[in-house]
Amino acid sequence: MSTAIDIRSVVKRYGTTTALHSVGFEIGDNEFFTLLGPSGCGKTTLLRCIAGFEDVSEGQILLFGQDIAGLEPNLRPVNTVFQQYALFPHLSVIDNVAFGLKMKGMALDARRARAGKMLEMVHLSAFADRMPAQLSGGQQQRVALARALAPEPKVLLLDEPLSALDLKLRQAMRVELKSLQEQTGITFVFVTHDQEEALTMSDRIAVMSQGRVQQIGTARDIYEGPVNRFVADFIGETNLMEVDVTAISDGMADVILPGGHALRCPAAATTPGRHHLSIRPERVSLADGGEVTATVERVVYLGTDVQVMTRLPGGVPLSLRVQNSARIAIPAPGASVSLHLEEGAARLLAD
């Protein structure tokens, strides 16, 4: 896989605040790459640096091997779907979609035909002559997508494009976006703070926090092998607890759980001592004769699942998810239960 975007130690400062601290990674050609992180972590800033609306303070960005420092936005083969769509309010839908083609010098008939095709692709052919203000949020979002895709950019940047949509539409658009990316073969850089969105669509995800990339990997890599507390906590649900580590070798650690049970699990940390352990609630089960004993504190009914909140000896909380099935008896608060940690339930974090 060749590299579409090579981000090399990019630092971006606004006055005294630093929005990006030495961010560096590569995005492959044809990849669906997601930047995931909480509000204010620098996702938009990084996109704006790639699009050319901001200059980087330090470092370099290479687009297909070419350093794009100082290149005006209109000279970059990159298009953006803006967070608030930014459809031109005085132009009709078709003229919005054809705008990029017009700027590239395409003749009227040709660009109208291509814009029409793009509208067909996003199922909006019937709306070609409407003004943007006459469309619903979801329709505007699709026009913004068609407008950005029409000039056939090599890279498409999408800044939380689904955040303004309701749940049903958002789920439908996820599928559409993903298949669109596969059809066109364009590299997508997708920004979101919604972990579910990131997990379901991306080839790879970069988890960001406070201007730093915390971890890069596939959805499975990141969910099942978080390197630090931030990632483990941000992606999905987890139990975090401090544990003693007696030995680490070959990426496996021997840890002592609160209550004294010894456990061997994968580790991101490399030195023994006191570290944080992440235990995924859905990998813990109620089992007679399980290796860990705990006391049930609260039971929360979630529909398909039941969340059982327990405390280990020493008062350390551990919650688990049990399928809501007739075959499984849900214990009552106050009961003492024994628990089984499945393969991959626990992982020792680096910090």
Partner 1 sequence: MKGVRHYPGFLGITIACLVVLYAPLIVVTIYSFNDSNSITSWGGFSWRWYADVFTGPEADRFAAAAWNSITIAFLAATASTAIAVAAALAMIRGGRFKGKSATYALINLPLLVPEIVTAVATLIFFSTIGLTTGYLTILIAHITFCIPFAYLPIAARLSGIEETYEQAARDLYATRAQAFWLILLPLLMPGVISGYLLAFIISLDDFIITNFVKGAGMETLPTAIFGSVKQGIKPNIMAISTLMLAVSVLFVTLSYLVNRIGQKTRT
Contact assessment for residue 60 and residue 68, using Cβ atoms and an 8 Å cutoff? no
Candidate segments 22-30, 48-56, 322-330, 334-342, binder of partner 1 by CB under 8 A: 48-56
Number of residues in contact with partner 1, rule: CB under 8 A?
A: 25
Residue from 5, 23, 27, 41 that binds ligand ATP (CB under 6 A)?
A: 41
- Binding positions for Mg ion, rule: CB under 5 A: 44
Contacts of 20 (CB under 8 A, 6+ apart): 10, 11, 12, 42, 45, 46, 49, 56, 211
**Sheet bearing 273-279, strands edge to edge:** 262-266, 252-256, 239-249, 273-279, 346-348
Q: Is 80 in the site for ligand ATP (CB under 6 A)?
A: no
Residue from 37, 42, 151, 211 that binds partner 1 (CB under 8 A)?
A: 151
Q: Can you say whether residue 289 is alpha, beta or left, with left for phi > 0 and alpha for psi between -120 and 50 degrees? A: left
Cβ closest to partner 1, residue 70 vs residue 289: 70
Q: Is 109 in the site for partner 1 (CB under 8 A)?
A: no
Contacts of 187 (CB under 8 A, 6+ apart): 4, 5, 27, 28, 29, 30, 31, 33, 154, 155, 156
- Smallest gap from Cβ 263 to ligand ATP, in A, equals 36
Binding mask 156-195 for ligand ATP (x = CB under 6 A): -------------------------------------x--
- Smallest gap from Cβ 46 to Mg ion, in A, equals 10
Strand pairing report for 78-81 and 305-311:
unpaired
Q: Is 37 in the site for partner 1 (CB under 8 A)?
A: no
Q: Is 73 in the site for partner 1 (CB under 8 A)?
A: yes
Q: Give the orientation angle of helix 108-121 with respect to helix 93-103, to 10 degrees.
A: 130
Q: Which does 40 bind (CB under 5 to 8 A by kind): partner 1, ligand ATP, Mg ion, none?
A: ligand ATP
- Smallest gap from Cβ 206 to ligand ATP, in A, equals 12
- The dihedral over CA atoms of 156, 134, 121, 98, expressed in degrees to the nearest 10, equals -60
Q: Is 44 in the site for ligand ATP (CB under 6 A)?
A: yes
- The residue type of 333 is P
Binding mask 253-292 for partner 1 (x = CB under 8 A): ----------------------------------------
Interface positions, 121-150, toward partner 1 (CB under 8 A)? 132-133, 147-148
User: Within 13 Å, how many C-alpha atoms sit on residue 136's CB side?
Assistant: 6
- Smallest gap from Cβ 44 to partner 1, in A, equals 11
The residue among 243, 224, 237 whose CA lies nearest residue 308 is 237
Q: Is 236 in the site for partner 1 (CB under 8 A)?
A: no
Strand pairing report for 187-192 and 32-36:
parallel
Contact assessment for residue 186 and residue 155, using Cβ atoms and an 8 Å cutoff? yes
Q: Is 79 in the site for partner 1 (CB under 8 A)?
A: yes
Q: What is the DSSP letter of 342?
A: P
Cβ closest to ligand ATP, residue 42 vs residue 226: 42
Q: Which residues bind partner 1 (CB under 8 A)?
A: 51-53, 72-74, 78-80, 82, 84, 86-90, 99-100, 103-104, 132-133, 147-148, 151
